Structure 1
Amino acid sequence: MGIELRADRVAFRISGPDATHLLHDVLTPPVKEEADLTRWFALLTPQGKIIAEGLIGWAGDAYWLDVHKSVAEAFFKRMKMYRLRAKVEIEMLNESHRVGWSAIQTETGICHKDPRANEMGFRIIAAAEIAADWAEGTGQAGARIAAGIAELGPDFPTEDAFPHDLGMDQRDAIDFKKGCYVGQEVVSRMQHRGTARRRPAIVSGLPENLDSQTLTVDGKSVGTFGQVVAGQAVAIVRIDKIDDPENVVAGDTPVTLALPEWARYAFGSPGGDSDD
């Protein structure tokens, strides 16, 4: 099995003596210089909405990140603004490197295990010439949809979702103990007050080429779904408005919802941990 090209992702390399401090202060997860530690991260607006999200890992005296291409420039500009006088080098590698995915670990490029779910495989960042024979596919998308992981770009637009909407609070992607990062106040309030209502779910039974990506129950919208692979997609839904996950409709088609294996929330209840 070869490496699958993720043409919609842009890689970044962030290095320098102040890199850890900067990234820890502005991104949602804890940031540490550990080669075997990869995190799901988000950069937020002051209102707590996701500007960009992706994976961050350490290798070769630098942090390696990836974001969707639609927000790469905005992420680059925002990070340079937050840098101020810190000794940090921020490189956008859209011309020199490519982002790929492999179901198995590889010695090619910078290889980091995707921590969001066991079946998510590995993210690869490699020089463009090394990645010249990589081809696009649906392996990564199929794996993340089966795991209930939503991504900015294929599933929702920038500045539209809170981290809790993606379940980032339950995937070790938010540090609730560290000091203030951008948007921290809103995210912390949602966590401690249990006000999260939108959560990810897996939709099955989707037909091809639906005109709408809206899910309804008894004619009322309960959420939207994103990229469809083999009849499945990840949806961000109001779980408090769904009592019966088999009583959901996409367009005129009945579909079925299921929660990710890692979810600690339940249909018909608020979006916090179901065992709270």
Structure 2
Amino acid sequence: MSIHLRADRVVFRFSGPEAHKLLNDVVTGPIPNSGEMAAWWALLSPQGKILAEGLAGWADDAVWLDVHESVADDFYRRMRMYRLRASVMIDDLRATHRVGWSREKPNAGLIHGDRIGPVDLGWRVIAPLEETSSWVQDDTEYARIRIAAGIAQLGQDFAADTTFAHDIGMDMLDGIDFVKGCYVGQEVVSRMKHRGTARRRPVVVTGIMAPTGTAILANGRDSGTIGRVVDGSAVGIVRLDRFPADGTGTIAGSEASLSLPAWATYAFGESGGDE
């Protein structure tokens, strides 16, 4: 059993009597306060765009979150602002801890199940820096599994403040709690859900011979982009309404093979209505 370092993820620990309430009031997901399973969440702008996303897990009377390194400073700044006078301590653990992944449950480290809706991705591991020397210094295996499942991630597949939560399927993958009270960006999320206006969705693209960020064309129109490419495959975030029912498209002049994730309830050619 191996633990693979996810070098582009950093850790924040939220503790104190109001830590769970703060996070539950600010981010999209159902923040846990017990158990070994993590929850997927996003911090949104007031306009509903994803500013950060990751997993949240409960351990040692605290909530442990990971975010992509490219948004860590902004996430930290915003959460300190939202904290106001709440009794919450936010620890930036970039210098002391690392995030890893294992397909099987490890017997060491701070461990949470990495399950995105029905998709079982394995286990997230958080450990002090000095305990990670034996980890595999590469996250390709993790990326291969999540790409095959159609799970998009900020920093590898899209940039901050460019993408709605619905665009990456968070509404279908338990990344949004539609029952809890108001959080930042909730009005946009609720409007997209109730009006059915989501037109961009994640798809699995295979047979790629082009770099990350290359456009996906449908009928000659720019209709999306591919994320991180591993073994010729990537998650693409595309405009469904621009594709024919069979998902035919092109990337860098070559025919692209696009397919829907197993969990998807949407279809190529589907219109999300007016936005």
Return closer, same or farther for 1:82/1:238 CA change in 2, 3 Å cut-off.
same
Q: TM-score, normalised by structure 2?
A: 0.95
Which segments of 5 or more consecutive residues in structure 2 lack a partner in the other structure? none
Shift of 1:29: 1.2
Return closer, same or farther for 1:265/1:271 CA change in 2, 3 Å cut-off.
farther
Return closer, same or farther for 1:238/1:111 CA change in 2, 3 Å cut-off.
same
Following superposition of structure 1 onto structure 2, how do residues 1-276 of structure 1 map, counting pairs within 5 Å? 1-116=1-116, 117-134=118-135, 135-207=137-209, 209-210=210-211, 213-271=214-272
Amino acid at match of 1:137: D
Shift of 1:218: 2.0
Amino acid at match of 2:87: K
Return closer, same or farther for 1:178/1:202 CA change in 2, 3 Å cut-off.
same
Amino acid at match of 1:66: D
Distance in 1 between the 2:186 and 2:58 partners? 23
Distance in 1 between the 2:217 and 2:45 partners? 29
RMSD: 1.5
Shift of 1:118: 3.5
Distance in 2 between the 1:32 and 1:118 partners? 18
Shift of 1:109: 1.0
Mean CA deviation greater in 106-115 or 10-19: 106-115
Shift of 1:10: 0.3
Return closer, same or farther for 1:33/1:137 CA change in 2, 3 Å cut-off.
closer
Amino acid at match of 1:43: L
Q: Deviations over 1:108-151 (max 9, x none)?
A: 21111111153411111100000122211301100110010000
Distance in 2 between the 1:127 and 1:120 partners? 22
Amino acid at match of 1:168: M
Q: How many residues matched?
A: 271
Contact kept, 8 Å, 2:32 with 2:38, in 1: the verdict is no
Amino acid at match of 1:39: A
Contact kept, 8 Å, 2:56 with 2:63, in 1: the verdict is yes
Which segments of 5 or more consecutive residues in structure 1 lack a partner in the other structure? none
Q: Deviations over 1:159-203 (max 9, x none)?
A: 000000000000111011211100000110000000000000000
Q: Deviations over 1:190-234 (max 9, x none)?
A: 000000000000001101x44861000121111111100011000
Matched position secondary structure for 1:136: coil
Matched position secondary structure for 1:114: strand
Aligned-pair identity (%): 53
Q: TM-score, normalised by structure 1?
A: 0.95
